[in-house]
Structure 1
């Protein structure tokens, strides 16, 4: 997973190329400098999703620099 980019704004783990936008929030602020991730399947029932303010299912980085 280390070769994937993460959006600095929404923390979504993405399958995009350098220079592209985040397809979720539209941000251009993407990074390879991240650690750990969590898969949120049911954000409405997840305490982790609530803590991270996530309302869409997907893969999210835990630490983004």
Structure 2
């Protein structure tokens, strides 16, 4: 793998820093698949299905 973005294993959000901005954990993975971008989680059927409560960029699967 190349320099892939890191993803929080807990909430599956893409993270740039040392702590997840949503769950305040530091458990990351660079092994993930699929991307979903949520703009308005209250209006998104997919966000409701995936139980996403905050706007952002998420992966669909994380190892």
TM-score, with structure 1 as normaliser:
0.84
What CA deviation, in whole Å up to 9, does each residue of 1:22-57 have, x standing for no partner?
A: 122111210001011100001001111001111100
CA distance in 2, matches of 1:40, 1:8: 18
Residues 9-48 of structure 1: matches in 2 within 5 Å? 9-16=10-17, 20-48=18-46
Count of residue pairs brought into register by the alignment: 61
Query: Whose helix proportion is higher, 1 or 2?
Result: 1
List, as ranges, runs of 4+ consecutive aligned residues in structure 1 with deviation greater than 3 Å: none
Question: Runs of 5+ in structure 2 lacking a partner?
Answer: none
